[in-house]
């Protein structure tokens, strides 16, 4: 319960250290300030380091993997972790679980990043136009939104994959198409909020015109929520991909995917629990890391936005 | 209010038509139909040649021979409206509406139990966290909520399987024979909504606690409990209704994975099966049914929000 | 004067600390304040934002925010019970029964989802004052007593179903229904218009007359003067002066009190001053602190011709830089139609300042936006330099932006938050491609210096500046393009009085130095009087009266103008008699502005005899 007067105090006397914290001029300072705030959240920072390691592991997957993830050897079926050079054991077809996990990571990150970034780029374009210009683009977006409200992303993705096949590209497209509407709505809402802010009217009174207002004044101020949405969108896309694989609709086997590894493990929960445990743990940690980074970004921007 | 409800219903119907069109067009674009697909996979599946012919003949019986796509769509939609969607391709002995009627109660049971569980846990957690905000208990609860929020239900299901079945061997790993079969699916499904709700309740309560009318009530000398119930909880829980829509949506999607994972003969299973085998009528039917459920939920949410909050009772609430 | 009366409250060495931000920096919001309150007495606690005036009083009732703590002091109620240390239960028996409180905004302090009935009855039951039926009866009685018509019906209403005035009354009724000994009012009229403020204060005066003691927290010395016997002046968490009201006004001792009094702008300050010597042509006048603005005869002489509007001929066109002819603006929100501006004709002459005054919803800000070409008119013509705005080519319109700049109320919000202060001031030069980067930067630094902001701080962000400094920066930005016209929309309304005075001085200096033509919008009559050459009074979208400043303030004709002026609560003078009845709107489609004296236009009904009242 902050009394109005205390809030006034906060606003009237900006925290002294923020004066000290802002080095140099230009927009560089703004981002540096946000980065510093972000690093104050240790969990977010550790998560970010973890994600960077994951990305490195995915890039270097062929070097890290101890075996060919696709190599079958039924004679070595269901080996326990640590046996015969198999760090995390083997699956029912004798494939190395660790190597499949690493290559599954590759699939997950490629799908997650590419699908999310594609959806985001489209969402920013449409959302900005719909929010700033209004009119036809906005009606169209709202129409789409209505439909998407009745069509949960997962279900839509299932149908899209059914239509487009099960290549990595198709899965990425399906996920991007199924998820852009929500993000476009977010960008639109942000744009609308910012459009109503006094500094936009003041800029228009100075003579600033459409593209300048949209790209230089609105977009930079919408970056916070957009970045937060991205950091929640990537794990969302990863989860969708794994979910599709779980249903047997994800990337075509035998390409390793965490979702199909989970499904394959269901039958052996008692005999070989590691088949499920290994992907489940890495999967969960990955999702959590992205979420914690998202929380960190949100906090970093939140404090900046306090006085605005 | 009546006008608002009617307006909402009209929009809902338009939405449903759009969903059906979208699905239909997409499925028309799909390479290969059911017949081709089952021809390729007939060796591996139960669908034998005879059955395939039977399906094809029932298809022509219903939709005619060589009819244009838009006519097929109209015939299907007529069937959907009259609750007579004809036989499924994959299960030729069953009608689409029969499958839905049989499978929906199964999915609904899990979903309703999951919502109940989520609410029962989330509301007290949210309130508790709000009252102890920024204390260690709040931090712990919100940490758990983040986990629940970021881990998809099937992954939660996987962990439950590993622990309750793999380690402890307490429960059957799947199937649909008795109440024990419900435990894991319901928990796995409930975790997500639980996290969403708890977080929402927490921030709503915190926001309400900051309202001047709560300060006013305290200044009026009200007992803490009365103020909490009458002024804080009441006003914080009204907006919770608005999250019901997204939660129902996530539950529906959830059932698809959970039912596959735990081998439960619910709607989600049939939806997935229809998608993998391109069983057009069943896929259209289940998709439309899901969409209708969601649309109806959203209408009910909008209307009931209007009734619960006196401020919106008079005016139309922007959607 | 109240020494013999019972001592109701003795506050000694009260200290409240807050923990702020992530680093939990300690901040002393209230530092060892002490004061007494006697039965039946009204005490004003005045101070600017952040002075701790509200925190200090709320702490008495245990209403300190969660990050705050009372760290020292006692507060004896009736000489025996210490409010600060008593148990929650005992405090609860006092709160709302003996000591009641009303807050700034009734919309926020009444629970939106409960009817008045519940909210007026519940605490009577909590305090076991009576049974439910009696409580209901008392609630209805109290609503009626607070001037709410048909209380037995209105008691079933939800807060949002009442008008702002009735809501404010209902909130006071809620506090008074338990018949408290002490009423604490925390800025109870800050959020409302002047006429309503006056009505509410009259209501509080009645309550006081019946013997209820009062603590009034306010930033407005006029409000304090109107109601209170004693005053405690707070600054930075400390009481700097504690005296009775008459003594404070005539003989304030502490420099801060003196500063506060001196900074208070009020109606009559300008009119009362002899202005014979003031001659102003086009701003060769040097800056002057006391009376920077002229209402002199030369200026109004030129105005007289110009404002012979309402259908008559215009003066030499070169003289009119901005002109509105029968401008209307209608909005179509979801529910119904809003006529924000109706049939407004107004000329802005080179070098003059027109003050636009009116209460919320009068359409004054909409009119400003029309002039700024931010929203299109529904009807009528706006001419800039003799050219119709609508028929201008885009390039011409862009030039117009160049020549007309604006300063808004919310300086914090009107500056680009992601640009440094220097970049903010440079931005209009970028937009209009004036000069090269180096010259733009030099110009911006020069402007910052001119408005009194250290250009060395140019690399910092707007939020790192105080509200007053932000308004200075916004002004520097508005001046960057060397505009001819400056539109100021409530530029000082969000600022504390001392800061307001500085900003008004800055405007006065700039206007005389640069020869700016100004449209100045404010709800504050005193500010309008101080800055304007001519004043237009708006209500419900119409201009109801338009006259040279001195004429308008000395000889108001329209009943609404009179009511506005009567409602003003001066600090240095006695308030005028105030008639609660809101005058019937005379403005409608069947009315017109009639010139009753040279340059003095009043809206009258068509057909009504054009009687010219004795001036």
CATH number at residue A275: 1.10.3720.10
pLDDT, residue C186, reads 93
pLDDT, residue B297, reads 87
pLDDT, residue A175, reads 92
- Name the more confident of A84 and B313: A84
- pLDDT over 60 at A308, yes or no: no
Within an 8 Å CB–CB cutoff, is residue A273 touching chain C? no
Average confidence (pLDDT) over B6-24: 87
Average confidence (pLDDT) over C81-98: 91
pLDDT, residue B94, reads 85
Within an 8 Å CB–CB cutoff, is residue B316 touching chain C? yes
Residues in chain C closer than 8 A to A30 (CB atoms): 418, 461
Shortest Cα–Cα distance, A185 to chain C (Å): 22
Name which of C19, C463, C467 to mutate to probe chain A: the one with the most chain A Cβ atoms within 10 A of its Cβ.
Answer: C463
Judge whether A222 lies within some domain: yes
- Name the more confident of C20 and B317: C20
Q: Locate tokens 């029912």: which residue?
A: A92
pLDDT, residue A51, reads 96
Q: Are A275 and A97 in contact (CB under 8 A)?
A: yes
pLDDT, residue B56, reads 67
CATH number of B131's domain: 1.10.3720.10
Q: Could you give the 3-state DSSP secondary structure of residue C163?
A: coil
How many folded domains does chain B comprise?
A: 1
**pLDDT tens profile A194-235:** 988 889 999 988 888 888 999 999 999 998 889 989 999 999
Residues in chain A closer than 8 A to C423 (CB atoms): 25-26
Lowest mean per-residue pLDDT among A16-25, A274-283, C96-105:
A16-25
Judge whether B230 lies within some domain: yes
**Could you write out the DSSP letters of every residue in A231-258?**
HHHHHHHHHHHHHHHHTT-SSPTTS--H
Q: Which residues contact C438 (CB under 8 A, 6 or more apart)?
A: none
pLDDT, residue C74, reads 92
pLDDT, residue B315, reads 44
Average confidence (pLDDT) over C57-63: 92
Residues in chain C closer than 8 A to A13 (CB atoms): 50, 466
Average confidence (pLDDT) over C530-550: 92
Q: For the purposes of burial, counting CB atoms within 10 Å of the CB of C332, is it exposed (0-12), middle (13-18) or buried (19 or more)?
A: exposed
**pLDDT tens profile C252-297:** 999 999 999 988 888 877 655 444 434 333 333 333 333 333 333 3
pLDDT, residue C430, reads 92
Judge whether B312 lies within some domain: no
Q: For the purposes of burial, counting CB atoms within 10 Å of the CB of C190, is it exposed (0-12), middle (13-18) or buried (19 or more)?
A: middle
Q: Locate tokens 């391109």: which residue?
A: B278
Neighbouring subunits of B (3+ Cβ pairs under 8 A):
A, C
CA–CA dist C582, C588 (Å, integer) = 16
pLDDT band at A20 (very low <50, low <70, confident <90, very high): very low
Neighbouring subunits of A (3+ Cβ pairs under 8 A):
B, C
**Could you write out the DSSP letters of every residue in C572-585?**
SSPPPP---SPPPP
Lowest mean per-residue pLDDT among B268-272, C112-116, C335-339:
C335-339
**pLDDT tens profile C385-444:** 888 888 888 888 888 888 899 999 888 889 998 899 999 999 999 999 988 999 999 999
Rounded to 5 degrees, φ, ψ at C102 are: -120, 150
Asked if C49 and A12 come within 8 Å (Cβ–Cβ), the reply is: yes
**pLDDT tens profile C568-607:** 888 877 777 777 666 666 666 777 888 888 889 988 877 6
CA nearest to C424 within chain A: A203
- pLDDT over 90 at A292, yes or no: yes
Q: What is the CATH number of domain C319-605?
A: 3.40.50.300
pLDDT band at C311 (very low <50, low <70, confident <90, very high): very low
Please state the separation of Cα C240 from the chain's center in Å. Answer: 25
Asked if B166 and A151 come within 8 Å (Cβ–Cβ), the reply is: no
pLDDT, residue A300, reads 87
Judge whether A307 lies within some domain: no
pLDDT, residue C154, reads 92
CA nearest to B213 within chain C: C109
Asked if C104 and A4 come within 8 Å (Cβ–Cβ), the reply is: yes
Phi/psi region, residue C87 (left: phi>0; alpha: psi -120 to 50; beta: rest), is beta
- pLDDT over 80 at A76, yes or no: no
Looking at the predicted complex, does its ipTM rise above 0.90?
Answer: no
Number of Cβ within a 10 Å radius of residue B90: 25
Within an 8 Å CB–CB cutoff, is residue B214 touching chain A? yes
Asked if C126 and B318 come within 8 Å (Cβ–Cβ), the reply is: no
Within an 8 Å CB–CB cutoff, is residue B116 touching chain A? no
pLDDT, residue A211, reads 87
Judge whether B240 lies within some domain: yes
CA nearest to C406 within chain A: A205
pLDDT, residue C332, reads 85
CA–CA dist A9, B232 (Å, integer) = 27
Q: Which of C29, C417, C477 is nearest residue A221 as measured by Cβ atoms?
A: C417
- pLDDT over 90 at C498, yes or no: no
How far is the CA of C327 from the CAs of A151, C346, C534, in angstroms? Answer: 49, 9, 19
- pLDDT over 50 at A24, yes or no: no
Judge whether B50 lies within some domain: no
Average confidence (pLDDT) over A178-203: 89
How many folded domains does chain A comprise?
A: 1
- pLDDT over 90 at A270, yes or no: no
pLDDT, residue C352, reads 92
**Of residues B176, B185, B182, the one with CA closest to residue B156:** B185
Asked if A207 and C402 come within 8 Å (Cβ–Cβ), the reply is: yes
Mean residue pLDDT across chain C: 84
Q: Which domain holds residue A260?
A: 4-301
Lowest mean per-residue pLDDT among C121-125, C146-150, C280-284, C368-372:
C280-284
pLDDT, residue C607, reads 64
Average confidence (pLDDT) over C479-495: 90
pLDDT band at C512 (very low <50, low <70, confident <90, very high): confident
- pLDDT over 70 at C3, yes or no: no
Shortest Cα–Cα distance, A151 to chain C (Å): 29
pLDDT, residue B64, reads 66
- pLDDT over 50 at B33, yes or no: yes
Mean residue pLDDT across chain B: 83
pLDDT band at C17 (very low <50, low <70, confident <90, very high): very high
pLDDT band at B23 (very low <50, low <70, confident <90, very high): confident
- pLDDT over 50 at C338, yes or no: yes
CA nearest to B167 within chain A: A270
Average confidence (pLDDT) over C442-453: 92
Query: Does the predicted model carry a pTM greater than 0.80?
Result: yes
Q: Are C262 and C269 in contact (CB under 8 A)?
A: no
pLDDT band at B15 (very low <50, low <70, confident <90, very high): confident
Q: Which residues 129-188 of B are in CB contact (within 8 Å) with A?
A: 146-147, 149-152, 154-155, 158-159, 161-162, 165-167, 169, 173-174
CA–CA dist C228, C210 (Å, integer) = 14
**pLDDT tens profile B84-140:** 888 887 787 888 889 999 999 999 999 999 999 999 999 999 999 999 888 899 999
Average confidence (pLDDT) over B230-243: 88
Q: Which residues contact C569 (CB under 8 A, 6 or more apart)?
A: C197, C198, C201, C220, C222, C223, C225, C226, C575
Judge whether B292 lies within some domain: no
Q: What is the CA radius of gyration of chain A?
A: 23
Judge whether B7 lies within some domain: no
Average confidence (pLDDT) over B144-169: 89
Asked if B210 and A2 come within 8 Å (Cβ–Cβ), the reply is: yes
- Name the more confident of A2 and C442: C442
pLDDT, residue C582, reads 61
Judge whether B268 lies within some domain: yes
- pLDDT over 50 at B295, yes or no: yes
Average confidence (pLDDT) over A179-208: 89
**pLDDT tens profile B193-210:** 999 999 999 999 999 998
Within an 8 Å CB–CB cutoff, is residue C491 touching chain A? no
Looking at chain C, the whole-number percentage of residues with pLDDT higher than 90 is 48
Rounded (5°) CA angle C207-C211-C214 = 65
What is the DSSP secondary structure assignment for residue C511, as one 8-state letter? H
The alpha helices in C372-452, defined as continuous H runs, are 394-403, 411-414, 421-431, 437-451
Within an 8 Å CB–CB cutoff, is residue B310 touching chain C? yes
CA nearest to C482 within chain A: A206
Q: Which domain holds residue B219?
A: 97-275
pLDDT, residue C139, reads 95
pLDDT band at A28 (very low <50, low <70, confident <90, very high): low
- pLDDT over 90 at A48, yes or no: yes
- pLDDT over 50 at C312, yes or no: no
Most confident of B72-76, C15-19, C495-499: C15-19
Q: Which residues contact B318 (CB under 8 A, 6 or more apart)?
A: C334
pLDDT, residue C274, reads 44
Judge whether A308 lies within some domain: no
Within an 8 Å CB–CB cutoff, is residue B14 touching chain A? yes
């Amino acid at each position: 319960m902050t009394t109005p007067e205390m809030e006034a105090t906060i606003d009237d006397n900006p925290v002294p250290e923020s004066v000290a914290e802002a080095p140099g001029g230009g927009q560089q300072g703004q981002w540096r300030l946000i980065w510093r705030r972000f690093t104050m959240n240790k969990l977010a920072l550790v998560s970010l380091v973890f994600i960077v390691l994951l990305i490195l592991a995915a890039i270097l997957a062929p070097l890290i993997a101890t075996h060919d993830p696709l190599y079958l050897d039924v004679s070595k079926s269901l080996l326990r972790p640590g046996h015969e050079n198999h760090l995390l054991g083997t699956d029912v077809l004798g494939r190395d679980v660790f190597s499949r996990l690493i290559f599954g990571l590759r699939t997950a990150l490629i799908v997650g990043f590419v699908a999310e970034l594609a959806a985001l780029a489209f969402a920013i374009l449409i959302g900005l136009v719909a929010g700033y210009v209004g009119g036809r683009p906005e009606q169209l977006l709202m129409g789409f939104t209505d439909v998407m409200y009745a069509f949960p992303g997962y279900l839509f993705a299932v149908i899209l994959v059914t239509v487009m096949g099960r290549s990595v590209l198709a899965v990425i497209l399906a996920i991007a198409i199924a998820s852009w509407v929500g993000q476009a709505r977010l960008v639109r809402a942000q744009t609308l909020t910012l459009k109503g802010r006094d500094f936009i009217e003041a800029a228009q009174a100075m003579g600033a015109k459409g593209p300048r207002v949209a790209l230089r004044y609105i977009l930079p101020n919408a970056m916070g929520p957009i970045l937060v949405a991205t950091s929640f969108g990537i794990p969302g896309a990863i989860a969708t991909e794994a979910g599709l694989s779980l249903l047997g609709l994800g990337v075509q086997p035998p390409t390793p995917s965490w979702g199909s590894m989970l499904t394959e493990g269901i039958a052996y929960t008692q005999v070989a629990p590691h088949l499920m445990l290994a992907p489940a743990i890495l999967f969960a940690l990955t999702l959590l890391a992205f979420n914690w980074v998202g929380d960190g970004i949100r906090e970093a921007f939140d404090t900046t936005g306090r006085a605005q | 209010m009546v006008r608002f409800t009617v307006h909402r219903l009209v929009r809902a119907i338009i939405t449903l038509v759009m969903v059906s069109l979208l699905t239909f067009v997409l499925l028309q674009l799909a390479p290969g139909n059911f017949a081709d697909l089952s021809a390729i996979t007939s060796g591996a599946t139960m669908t034998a040649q005879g059955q395939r012919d039977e399906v094809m003949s029932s298809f022509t019986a219903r939709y005619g021979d060589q009819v244009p796509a838009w006519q097929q769509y109209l015939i299907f939609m007529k069937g959907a409206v009259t609750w007579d969607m004809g036989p499924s391709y994959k299960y030729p002995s069953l009608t689409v509406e029969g499958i839905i009627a049989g499978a929906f109660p199964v999915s609904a049971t899990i979903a309703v139990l999951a919502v109940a569980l989520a609410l029962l846990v989330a509301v007290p957690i949210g309130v508790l966290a709000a009252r102890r905000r920024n204390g260690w208990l709040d931090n712990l609860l919100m940490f758990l909520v983040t986990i629940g929020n970021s881990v998809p239900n099937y992954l939660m299901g996987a962990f439950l399987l590993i622990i309750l079945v793999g380690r402890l061997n307490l429960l059957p790993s799947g199937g649909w024979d008795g109440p024990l079969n419900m435990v894991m699916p319901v928990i796995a499904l409930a975790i997500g909504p639980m996290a969403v709700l708890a977080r929402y309740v927490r921030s709503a309560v915190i926001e309400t606690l900051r309202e001047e009318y709560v300060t006013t009530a305290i200044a009026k000398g009200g007992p803490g409990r009365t103020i909490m119930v009458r002024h804080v909880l009441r006003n914080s829980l009204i907006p919770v209704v608005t999250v019901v829509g997204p939660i129902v949506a996530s539950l529906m999607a959830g059932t698809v994975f959970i039912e596959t994972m735990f081998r439960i003969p619910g709607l989600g299973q049939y939806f997935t099966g229809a998608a993998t085998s391109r069983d057009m009528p069943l896929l259209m039917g289940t998709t439309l049914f899901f969409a209708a459920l969601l649309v109806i939920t959203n209408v009910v949410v909008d209307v009931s929000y209007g009734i619960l909050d006196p401020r919106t009772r008079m005016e139309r609430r922007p959607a | 004067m109240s020494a013999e009366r019972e001592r109701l409250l003795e506050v000694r060495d009260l200290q409240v600390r807050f923990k702020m931000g992530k680093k939990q920096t300690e901040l002393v919001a209230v530092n060892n304040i002490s004061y007494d309150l006697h039965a039946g007495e009204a005490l004003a606690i005045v101070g600017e934002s952040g002075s701790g005036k509200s925190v200090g009083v709320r702490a008495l009732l245990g209403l300190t925010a969660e990050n705050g703590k009372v760290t020292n002091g006692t507060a004896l109620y009736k000489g025996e019970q210490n409010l600060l240390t008593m148990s929650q239960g005992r405090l609860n028996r006092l709160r709302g029964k003996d000591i009641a409180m009303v807050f700034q905004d009734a919309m926020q302090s009444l629970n939106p989802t409960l009817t008045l009935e519940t909210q007026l009855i519940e605490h009577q039951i909590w305090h076991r004052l009576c049974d439910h039926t009696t409580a209901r009866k008392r609630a209805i009685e109290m609503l009626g007593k607070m001037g709410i018509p048909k209380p037995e019906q209105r008691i079933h209403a939800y807060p949002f179903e009442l008008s702002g005035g009735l809501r404010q009354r209902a909130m006071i009724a809620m506090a008074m229904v338990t018949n408290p000994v002490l009423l604490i009012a925390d800025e109870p009229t800050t959020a409302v218009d002047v006429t309503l403020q006056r009505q509410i204060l009259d209501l509080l005066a009645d309550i006081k007359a019946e013997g209820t003691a009062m603590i009034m927290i306010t930033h407005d010395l006029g409000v304090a003067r109107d109601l209170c016997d004693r005053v405690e002046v707070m600054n930075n968490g400390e009481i700097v002066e504690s005296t009775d009201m008459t003594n404070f006004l005539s003989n304030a001792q502490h420099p801060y009190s003196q500063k506060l009094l001196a900074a208070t702008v009020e109606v009559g300050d300008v009119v009362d001053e002899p202005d014979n010597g003031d001659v102003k042509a086009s701003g060769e006048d040097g800056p002057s602190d006391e009376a920077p603005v002229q209402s002199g005869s030369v200026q109004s002489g030129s105005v007289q011709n110009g404002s012979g509007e309402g259908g008559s001929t215009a003066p030499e066109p070169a003289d009119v830089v901005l002109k509105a002819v029968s401008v209307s603006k209608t909005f179509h929100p979801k529910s119904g139609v809003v006529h924000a501006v109706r049939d407004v004709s107004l000329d802005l002459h080179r070098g003059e300042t027109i003050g636009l005054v009116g209460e919320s919803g009068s359409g004054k800000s909409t009119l400003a936006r029309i002039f700024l070409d931010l929203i299109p008119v529904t009807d009528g013509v706006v001419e800039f330099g003799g050219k119709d705005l609508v028929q201008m080519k885009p390039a011409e319109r862009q030039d117009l932006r160049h020549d007309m700049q604006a300063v808004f109320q919310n300086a914090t919000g009107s500056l680009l938050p992601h640009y440094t202060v220097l970049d903010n001031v440079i931005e209009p030069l970028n937009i209009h491609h004036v000069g090269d980067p180096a010259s733009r930067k030099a110009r911006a630094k020069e402007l910052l210096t001119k408005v009194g902001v250290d250009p060395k701080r140019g690399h910092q962000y707007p939020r790192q500046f105080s509200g007053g400094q932000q308004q200075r920066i916004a002004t520097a930005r508005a001046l960057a393009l060397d505009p001819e016209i400056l539109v100021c929309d409530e530029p000082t309304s969000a600022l504390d009085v001392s800061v307001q005075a500085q900003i008004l001085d800055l405007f006065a200096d700039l206007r005389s130095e640069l020869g700016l033509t100004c449209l100045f919008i404010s709800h504050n009559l005193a500010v309008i009087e101080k800055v304007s050459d001519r004043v237009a009074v708006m209500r419900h979208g119409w201009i109801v009266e338009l006259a040279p400043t001195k004429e308008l303030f000395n000889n108001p004709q329209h009943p609404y103008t009179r009511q506005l002026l009567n409602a003003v609560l001066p600090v240095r003078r006695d308030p005028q008699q105030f008639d609660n009845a809101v005058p019937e709107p005379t403005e409608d489609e069947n009315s017109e502005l009639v010139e009753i004296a040279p340059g003095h236009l009043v809206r009258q009904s068509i057909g009504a005899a054009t009687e010219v009242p004795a001036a």
